[in-house]
Amino acid sequence: MEYDDVVKGRRSIRGFLKKPVPKALIREILEIAMRAPTSLNTQPWNFYVVTGEVLDRIRAGNVERNLAGVPDSREFRMGPGYEGDHRKRQIEIAIQLFEAMGIERDNKEKRMDWVLRGFRQFDAPVSIVITYDKSIQGSDIAPFDCGGVVNCIVNTAWNRGLGCVINSQGIMQSPVVREHAGIPDDQVIQTCIAMGWPDDTFPANAVVSRRKSVDEAAVFRGFED
């Protein structure tokens, strides 16, 4: 696809076919995505790509700890809760997804199942856990650069027929992820990407989020109209 078509057409995928993703294809995606720009060419990212029984153990541990009421242990700080327009957009996409999935507002069982899907990495066949070196923890530049490579990964995957969703729920129980993915203590777990072949019959996959207009987001100064 042309670049513009990839960016405009990509959407978050939360339902996947039970079909493995070849290791060689993931390597190809990472190789291209790692051309993402970074501050002073520091390239702070590391990737732990998990599938099969390893990913199944992470899913099980995440769900078990969540149902047991274990507080999350996310390593990359969340910051304050969303308010104002940010909160409105958060609620808007949640409503779109719940409507697509037929989840009624008062149906606690279905709502909990949706939450648990996130902890299960949306049952995707692959999860890519993104980390950066603890030696640069506290710098805002490193996670910013990691965010850039995450964007490149999801777009590159989309261009090859794969779907992704950036999924912070999947790494909130960081001891589980660290243990089974074999992540050493000198790494900070930032986020993860659920990846696989999209299931076109999964209703939430058809949801397209509304985006701010350029007029809402951009201020132009010094131009002659």
Q: What pLDDT digit, counting tens, does each position of 93-106 carry?
A: 999 999 999 999 89
**Global pTM exceeds 0.75:** yes
What distance in Å separates the CA atoms of residue 196 and residue 70, rounded to the nearest whole number? 29
Give 109-166 pLDDT, tens digit per residue: 999 999 999 999 999 999 999 999 999 888 889 999 999 999 999 999 999 999 999 9
Order of strands, sheet of 163-166, starting from the edge strand that comes earlier in the sequence: 45-51, 126-133, 187-196, 163-166
Report whether 154 contacts 193 (CB < 8 A). Answer: yes
Residue 77 pLDDT > 90: no
Q: How far is CA 175 from CA 62, 65, 189, 221, in A?
A: 9, 10, 10, 48
